[in-house]
Structure 1
Amino acid sequence: MNASWLQWLRGSVTIQIRGGNMEELVNRALADKLQLWSISRTSGGELLCQVTLRDFFRLKPLLKKTGCRLHILTRHGMPFWFEKLEKRLFFGVGLILFFIGMYVLSSLVWTVEVTGVESISEEQVLKAAHEEGLYPFQWSFRLADTDMLSKKLSQKIPGVAWVGVEKKGTKVSIKVVESTKPEDKPLLSPRHLVATTDAVVTDIMAETGRPLVKRNARVKKGDILISGILGDENNTMYVIAQGEVKGLVWHEYNIASPLERIEKGYTGEMTTRWYAVIGGRAVRVSGFGAINYDKYETERDMQLATWRTGTLPFGKMKEVIREVQEERISIEPKEAKIAGLEQARADVLAKNGPGAKIRAENILHEKTDNGKVYMKVLFEVEQSIATERPLVHTQGE
C-alpha cells in the first residue's frame, strides 16, 4: 500500500503557522523527524503545511519554544471519519460491511478473457479452463499457479503452440498462440499489369510477364505495361504478370492558406475535483461548483488500491480542469504560403502510396484575398502506376 493510503489511514491535518520564529520551528520539527510536507508561505507571511495526526501533538512543545501559533485549516483521514461516524452507528456499520464485502468480492474471479484465437474457438479454450477450475466466480485462492495452468491448458487444447495465463485483480487473461500452418496460396488467374493513370514511365521491373514499355515512354490510363502473354502465335503461354512500374504523374492542387493561426495556452486558472472509484464507477466527492471557463482541458489520474500484487476494484481519481486561452496571431503571406505548400505536399504523398516522391512543383497562380493566400500548384510526382487486370482469352487463342 503506498504512502498516500497510509497517511489517509493514520490521519493528517493542514495547519497554518504564524508569529514567532517559524523557520526555527520547521527546522526543529524536521530534526525531530516529524513528518511535514506541502510546506509553503502565503502572501501574508504565514506558513502552510500538512502533518500527520500523531506528529501534530508533538508540535506543541516546539510551539512554546519558538513563540509560534498554530491554526488547523482542514482534517483528513480515517480517524476523523470515525469521529463523525460515532453519531451515525448504522451508517458506520454499513460502511464496514461494505468494505468487507468489497474485499470478499475482490477475492473472486469476475472475468476470464481469451485473446489470440483465430481457428480455435473461444468456447473450446473456456471449456478447457473450466475443467482446470478456472471460471467466473471462482475463488482466487482455489486457483492453481498461473504457470501450472498455462502448462495444463497447452496440453489440453489441440493446435496451440503456447498458452499464457495472467491474473490481474479480479480478471484472468488467457493468451493463446496457435501453431503455424503452411499458408494456402490463392489460385490466381493470368493477368496483365496496366497503367492506372496517364504518366511518363521512369522505372519498370518485371518479375514475370513481358514488359511492353520502356523508360521515358508516355502511357495513358489502361495501357498494358507488363503483359501476361508470353511466346508467339504458335507457342503461347498465359502467366500472372508481376512487377513494379513507376512513372511521373501530374497533380493539380488549389490551396487556400489563412493569414492567421490560432495558438493555445494555459491561463494558470484550474479547478480540482476528487472522485471515489468503486467497481468501475466514479462518484464525485469534492469540487461540485460549475466550471466558469469558456474553454478548458481536463486531465484525469486514477489510483486504485493495491493488495500485495493484485489491484482492488476501488480507489480514487483526481480530475484537473485547466482554463485554456486561444490567441489569433497574424502571419506574413510568405509564411502562409509555406504552410499551405507543406500541407499540400503531405496530402499528395499520403494519397499516392508509400513509395511516392515529389520530383518538382510549379506554382501556376498566386494571389492574396479575404485574409487568405490562394495558389494553384502543379506537382510532378513519381509513384506506382501499375494495377492488375484479368487476362481474358478464348479457347482458340
Structure 2
Amino acid sequence: MKRTQGVFFNGYTTFKVTGSFPEFFLNRCVENGIVIWNIKKLDESSCQANIKLEDIPKLKDLRKNMSYKISFSSRIGLPFLINAIWKRKPLVIGFLLSLILIFTLSNMVWDIDIEGVTPEIEHKIKENLDEYGVRKGAWKFKLETPSQMQQRLLNDVPELLWIGITEKGTTYHLQGVEKTIVEEKDEGGPQHLVAKKKGIIVDMYVEKGEPKVNVNDFVQPGDILVSGLIGGEDDQQAVHAKGEIIAETWYESEVSIPINVEYKVITGEKEKQYAISLFNASVPIWGFTKPDYKQSFMEEKEHPLYLFNWKIPLAFKTKYIWEQEVFEQNRSQEEAVSAGIEQAKRELSKQLPIDAKILREKILHEKKENGKVKLILYIKVQENIVKPYPITQGD
C-alpha cells in the first residue's frame, strides 16, 4: 500500500526548502521517516515537496540543527476544508437548516387528489383517509403503503368497485371506479329449465313455464324440469321459463387429518425497531436489543424518502417483532375425525352456490395410518339445480 494513500483525509501541505544543496536536507527527511513526495527542483538553492501534516513537527525539529530555511505554501486536505467551512458558520448553518427544511417538507403529504367518483363518494374516501392518518401535513413514512390503503378503502367504502393509489412526491393520486347498478335486462328468448345434476326434488318455485316434475321425483342431468312450451297444440307458445328447483344432491369428499397438530398464536405483545436504509444497508437508530421472546414473528415496513420529487437512496424502516406462542395438540381419533368432517365441509362450501345448504354427512371409509386419519365422506346438499336450455326452432 502506498504511504501517501488517504493523505487527503489527514491533510498535507507543500513546503519549500532553501539553502546550499537542498537535496541533502530532503535525503535527511527520508532517513528520519518523514514521508515526502512530488519533489521538484526549483533552482540551484531551493526545492519543493509535499508533506503530511502529522510530519511537520518532525520536519521543524530536523531543521533546527541545520542551516536551511523552510516556508509553507498551499494547504490541501479535509482538515483545511473543514476549517474553511467553519469560518463561515452562519452560511453553513443556514445551508444545513434549508436542507433539513426541504427534506422535511419533501416527506410530508401536501395534497390528496381524488378522481373518477361522485362528490358523495369522494367525501367518504376523504373521511376514511383521515382515519388512516392520510391528511395534509402527515409524515409519509408513518403511513401505510398505497396497496394497503387500497384494500382498506375497498372494504370500508362498499360503493367502490376499484380504486388505485399512486404516490408522486408529496401528492397522493386516487383514481376510483364506482359500482354501477345494472338495470335488469330483457329476460331473453324462450328456454326450458333442465337439471344440471342428479338429485331428489324437495321444493319448487316456478314463476313462468310448465312444471314437468314434482316434489320427491328423482331427476338426472339434462331432464326437463320446467318447460318453456305452454298451452295446447293449437295455441302453444314458447316462453322464457323461470323458476328454482331445489333438490338434494350428493358429493363424495376425501380428506386426511393429522392427529398431532402444532399451531402458532400471536399474543399481542410487540417491540418496534427503527432503522435507516442506505443503498440496501440498514443502520439501526432505535431498538437495538432483541426482545426476549421464545418465538417471534417479524414484519418490516419500508418507506422511501424524497428530496423534492426525487426518490433518494434513503429509506425509513420500521420492524415489528411480535411475540408468538406455539401450541401442540394431541387429538384423539374421534377429534381428528370431527376436524376432518369440518374441513371437508369448508372445502365443499367453496365450490357450492351461495344459497346452497349442507344437510348432513356420512363416513364411508375411515383409516388411521402414519399419524393421520383418512376419511372418505358422503355429503348431502340442498341446492338449486336448474340450468337454462334455449328452445330452438323445431323443439
Normalised to the residue count of structure 1, the TM-score between the two structures is 0.51
Between 86-95 and 319-328, report the one with greater CA deviation: 86-95
Secondary structure at the aligned position of 1:361 is classed as strand
Determine if the alignment matches structure 1 residue 213 to structure 2 residue 222: no
Contact 1:270/1:321 (<8 A) preserved: yes
1:138-287 to 2 correspondences below 5 Å: 170-171=170-171, 183=183, 185-186=185-186, 188-265=188-265, 272-275=272-275, 285-286=284-285
Aligned residue number for residue 101 of structure 1: 102
- CA change 1:273–1:374 in 2 (3 A) is same
SS at match of 1:352: coil
Alignment correspondent of 1:115: 116
- Name the structure 1 match of 2:358: 358
Amino acid at match of 1:194: V
Inter-partner Cα distance in structure 2 for 1:215 and 1:319: 62
Number of matched pairs = 251
What is the deviation of 1:348?
2.4
Q: How far has the Cα of 1:213 moved from its partner? A: 0.6
In 1, the alpha carbon distance for the partners of 2:384 and 2:184 equals 28
Output the CA distance in 2 between the equivalents of 1:263 and 1:96.
52
Task: Write the distance in 2 (CA, Å) between the matches of 1:336 and 1:178.
Answer: 46
Deviation at 1:236, TM superposition (A): 1.7
Q: Does 1:367 align with 2:371?
A: no
Amino acid paired to 1:116: V
In structure 2, relative to structure 1, the CA distance for the partners of 1:172 and 1:342 (3 Å cut) is: closer
- 1:351, distance to aligned residue in structure 2 (A): 1.8
Q: Distance in 2 between matches of 1:116 and 1:282?
A: 42
Going from structure 1 to structure 2, the CA distance change for 1:263 and 1:87 (only over 3 Å counts) comes to farther
Is the contact between residue 115 and residue 173 of structure 1 (CA under 8 Å) also seen in structure 2? no
Unaligned runs of 5+ in 2: 1-85, 119-136, 138-166, 304-313
Contact residue 109 and residue 171 of structure 1 kept, 8 A: yes
Give unpaired runs (5+ residues) of structure 1.
1-85, 118-139, 141-167, 304-313
State the secondary structure of the residue aligned to 1:351.
coil
1:349 Cα deviation from its structure 2 partner: 2.8
Q: Distance in 2 between matches of 1:109 and 1:269?
A: 34
Judged with a 3 Å threshold, the aligned counterparts in structure 2 of structure 1 residues 211 and 284 are, in CA distance, closer, same or farther, namely farther
2: CA distance, partners of 1:214 / 1:265: 52
Amino acid in the other structure paired with 1:229: L
The answer as to whether partners of 1:273 and 1:284 remain within 8 angstroms in 2 is no
What do the CA deviations read for 1:15-39 (whole angstroms, capped 9, x no partner)? xxxxxxxxxxxxxxxxxxxxxxxxx
Per-residue CA deviation, residues 150-186 of structure 1 (Å, 9 max, x unaligned), is xxxxxxxxxxxxxxxxxx9954778999999993724
Contact 2:360 2:381 in 1 (8 A): yes
Q: 1:229 to 1:376 in 2, by over 3 A?
A: same
Question: 3-state DSSP class of the match of 2:98?
Answer: helix
Alpha-carbon spacing, 1:111–1:353, altered in 2? closer, same or farther (3 Å): same
Cα distance in 1 for partners of 2:179, 2:255 equals 53
**Contact kept in structure 2, 1:253 and 1:378, CA below 8 Å:** yes
Pairwise CA distance, 1:187: 5.9
Residues 113, 171 of structure 1: 8 Å contact kept: no
Measured at CA, do residues 364 and 233 of structure 1 come closer, stay the same or move farther in structure 2, by a change above 3 Å?
same
Equivalent pair of 1:211/1:227 in contact (CA under 8 Å): yes
Q: Deviations over 1:47-84 (max 9, x none)?
A: xxxxxxxxxxxxxxxxxxxxxxxxxxxxxxxxxxxxxx
Contact 2:113 2:174 in 1 (8 A): yes
Deviations 1:116-157 (A, max 9, x none): 37xxxxxxxxxxxxxxxxxxxxxx9xxxxxxxxxxxxxxxxx
Between the aligned partners of 1:347 and 1:288, the Cα distance in structure 2 is 45
Q: CA deviation at 1:344?
A: 1.1
Q: How large is the RMSD of aligned CA atoms in angstroms?
A: 4.8
- Write the deviation string for residues 173-218 of structure 1: whole angstroms up to 9, x where unpaired: 7899999999372461211111111100111111111111110000
- String of CA shifts for 1:258-306, please: whole Å, max 9, x gaps: 101112256999764214699xx99754267999999742356899xxx
Q: State the Cα distance separating 1:373 from its structure 2 match.
A: 0.9
* Pairing of 1:32-111 with structure 2 (within 5 A): 93-102=94-103, 105=106
CA distance in 1, matches of 2:353, 2:232: 36
Structure 2 Cα separation of the partners of residues 106 and 292 of structure 1: 34
Bigger-Rg structure (1/2) = 2
Distance across 1 between alignment mates of 2:92 and 2:349: 65
Structure 1 counterpart of 2:384: 384
Query: Are the structure 2 counterparts of residues 291 and 180 from structure 1 closer, same or farther at C-alpha, using a change threshold of 3 Å?
Result: closer
Quote the Cα distance in structure 2 between the aligned partners of 1:320 and 1:185.
Answer: 52
Change (3 A) 1:205 1:268: closer
Q: Contact conserved, 1:202 with 1:215, CA < 8 A, in 2?
A: yes
3-state SS of 1:226 partner: strand
Q: Structure 1 residues 328, 103: CA separation in 2 closer, same or farther (over 3 Å shift)?
A: closer
> 208-217 or 231-240: which moved more?
231-240
